[in-house]
Structure 1
Amino acid sequence: MPTKSWHSLPEYQALRALMESGTTSKAAVRLGLSQSAISRSIASLEARTGRILFEREGGRLRPTSEAVQMNRRLDPLFEALDRIDGPPEMAQETLRLIAPPTYAHRFLVHHIATFLKTNPHFYVSLDVAPSEDVIRGILDRRFDLGVSGVELSRNGVKLTPYRSATAVCAMPPDHPLADQKVIHPADLHEQALVALTHRHARRGQLDKVLQANRSTPRIVAEASTSFAAVDLAKEGLGLTIVNPFPIVQYRADDVIFRPFASQIEYRSYFVTSDDRPISAVTRSFMRHLRLHTAKDPFSHKA
């Protein structure tokens, strides 16, 4: 006689909490249980369904595709439970956001402020870190959304194009090349140049362009961020070649930007997990950025 099928709400609650929080400790706090209780519920659910739902990698639990599919199928159940319990109190859903300094300072700060003013029921936590840490933070599930200008592909990470741009030269208004509509590599020969440090992939691209055109500028300083390079150029040290987005939106009043005739292109990306559903607050903030990013002559929607 076949065994009667049965369902356990605590098991489903443990699955959903673990999927959304990323660790058994956070899932336990969320449900008011012990970590062992969460682990037992997941083990029981795996035994009952005959599916492996989580795999341990480097000390962390990673959901399998079966877990992702099951979690999606549970949406109607939890929506029905919410309706049965009546309208819940408005909770502050948190967006854990990470971005490198060029995006975080001023640009994202401004958009976070406007986003929260129109969505007071949301809460944003912003972390500023190098682009490599953006990818790692999404992989480790410490963040929900990253913004990055570096295409670092990893399994488990999804890169969604956000903005595209071509390289520009940035210089003070009194620079000898400021009157030119377009700056060519040959124009930089023996010109003072503020360069990005060699850890930037774009530095290697620029070096190849200059070598191909037999152009040798005088490198007078290096900077680890585009904002710092533009600010050094603004102080009269020379010119610099950078991604115009989003810097041009904040430096157009005191710095001259001119197109740089090269094949150097840039893309900005939204970085999300590829094996977790995107939360409502994450989707809302991505939409907010797309709708409210100001137009500029050097970048466009990707």
Structure 2
Amino acid sequence: MVVKAWHSLPEYQALRALMESGTTSKAAVRLGLSQSAISRSISSLEARTGKILFERDGGRLRPTGEAAQLNRRLDPLFEALDRIDGPPQVAQETLRIIAPPTYAHRFLVEHIASFLKTNPHFFVSLEVAPSEDVIRGILENRFDLGLTGVELSRDGVKLTPYRRSGAVCAMAADHPLAAQDVVHPRDLHDQALVALSHRHARRAQLEKVLHQVASKPRIVAEASTSFAAVDLAKAGLGVTVVNPFPIVQYRSDDLVFRRFESQIEYRSYFVSPDHRPAPSVARAFMRHLRLHTAKDLFSEKA
């Protein structure tokens, strides 16, 4: 006798909710269930399929390749349910974006707003997270599109060039170096410097450039984001060396940028999965961002 496979919609719903929300607590809120009910559904689904769907990684549940594959195969099922249960109107297509603070705050929010005003049939969900989480979120299929300034080559991820720029020095308008058109590494010797924290690869790159000309600035503060470093420099603490994009888009009268003479180069990328085509809403947003990114003196299209 052939035993027919049976299917459990609650298990599939738990899988999809956990894949899209990232945690059992968020998945439980989304489905109106308890966390234990989500865990039981996932355990039952793993037992029934004979596959490990989630692995624990530092206290978080990380979906396996089998989970991502099963979730993709469920797309037609949930699309059919949406057509059955949904209201008789054009459904909003959702774009799930993830970006680090430097891109998300001020810059992306403005462009998301203009994008939705001209495309009211779309819906955008924005997640702000460190750059390493951008890559992870795309790999785990929790987001459709990411933005990053870190070139992390990983299998399963596609990096599409967006902008490129050279390093700049940012400082208050009354800083002595503001009188120069170009700041050289030796000019920073004994200057008060607001540095990026050591977790940034650019920190070591800058230190190498300064070491080559025996330039030793006085580090007076550290910041974990370029926006924070620029704000500290603007407050008069000193000068900082950063990627001008997209910060230069929000320059003010009491803050100036000067080109920093060095080989340091920055690139910004769109991040998307390379195992499936980008959804139409993601392609539309990428076009919108390219078309409406304002020109500036320190960055250009990649």
Normalising by structure 2, report the TM-score: 0.71
Q: Is the 8 A contact 1:195 1:203 kept in 2?
A: no
Could you tell me how far 1:201 is from its partner in structure 2? 3.8
Could you tell me how far 1:91 is from its partner in structure 2? 6.3
Distance 1:255 1:40, change over 3 A: closer
- Which residue type is aligned with residue 267 of structure 1? R
Q: Is the 8 A contact 1:63 1:275 kept in 2?
A: no
The answer to whether residue 194 in structure 2 is matched with residue 195 in structure 1 is yes
Distance 1:87 1:178, change over 3 A: same
- Which residue type is aligned with residue 11 of structure 1? E
Instruction: Give the stretch that moved more between structures: 34-43 or 72-81.
Output: 34-43
Q: Separation in 2 of the partners of 1:59 and 1:271?
A: 25
Distance 1:283 1:48, change over 3 A: farther
1:28-73 deviations in Å (ceiling 9; x for gaps): 4434445454444434433443333233444433322122112212
Q: Separation in 2 of the partners of 1:29 and 1:82?
A: 19
What SS does the corresponding residue of 1:222 show, helix, strand or coil?
strand
Q: Is the 8 A contact 2:100 2:134 kept in 1?
A: no
Q: Separation in 2 of the partners of 1:148 and 1:276?
A: 20
What SS does the corresponding residue of 1:52 show, helix, strand or coil?
coil
- Which residue type is aligned with residue 259 of structure 1? R
Kindly report which structure 2 residues correspond to 1:80-119, keeping only aligned pairs within 5 A, or say none: 80-85=80-85, 87=87, 90=91, 95=96, 97=98, 99-100=100-101, 102-119=102-119
1:206-229 deviations in Å (ceiling 9; x for gaps): 232122123345x37435253454
What SS does the corresponding residue of 2:183 show, helix, strand or coil?
coil
Q: Separation in 2 of the partners of 1:138 and 1:213?
A: 40
Q: Separation in 1 of the partners of 2:36 and 2:42?
A: 10
Kindly report which structure 2 residues correspond to 1:73-222, keeping only aligned pairs within 5 A, or say none: 73-85=73-85, 87=87, 90=91, 95=96, 97=98, 99-100=100-101, 102-120=102-120, 122=123, 124=125, 127=128, 134=133, 138=137, 144=143, 147-150=147-150, 162-171=162-171, 181-189=181-189, 192-199=191-198, 200-217=200-217, 219=218, 221-222=220-221
Unaligned runs of 5+ in 2: none
Distance 1:237 1:56, change over 3 A: closer
Give the aligned partner of residue 2 of structure 1.
Answer: 2
Give the aligned partner of residue 267 of structure 1.
Answer: 267
**Aligned residue-pair number:** 296
Q: Is the 8 A contact 1:95 1:281 kept in 2?
A: no
Distance 1:23 1:180, change over 3 A: closer
Could you tell me how far 1:112 is from its partner in structure 2? 3.5
Q: Separation in 2 of the partners of 1:23 and 1:242?
A: 34
Q: Which has the larger radius of gyration?
A: 1
Give the aligned partner of residue 62 of structure 1.
Answer: 62
Q: Separation in 2 of the partners of 1:38 and 1:228?
A: 39
Q: Is the 8 A contact 1:166 1:265 kept in 2?
A: yes
Q: Is the 8 A contact 1:168 1:260 kept in 2?
A: yes
- Which residue type is aligned with residue 257 of structure 1? F
Distance 1:281 1:27, change over 3 A: farther
Kindly report which structure 2 residues correspond to 1:6-45, keeping only aligned pairs within 5 A, or say none: 6-45=6-45
Could you tell me how far 1:81 is from its partner in structure 2? 3.3
Distance 1:78 1:88, change over 3 A: farther
Q: Is the 8 A contact 1:198 1:204 kept in 2?
A: no
- Which residue type is aligned with residue 99 of structure 1? P
Q: Is the 8 A contact 1:19 1:276 kept in 2?
A: no
Q: Separation in 2 of the partners of 1:275 and 1:54?
A: 20
Q: Is the 8 A contact 2:194 2:237 kept in 1?
A: no
Q: Is the 8 A contact 1:95 1:123 kept in 2?
A: yes
What SS does the corresponding residue of 1:263 show, helix, strand or coil?
coil
Could you tell me how far 1:107 is from its partner in structure 2? 2.0
1:214-248 deviations in Å (ceiling 9; x for gaps): 3345x374352534544555567664422111121
Instruction: Give the stretch that moved more between structures: 60-69 or 265-274.
Output: 265-274
Q: Is the 8 A contact 2:99 2:134 kept in 1?
A: no
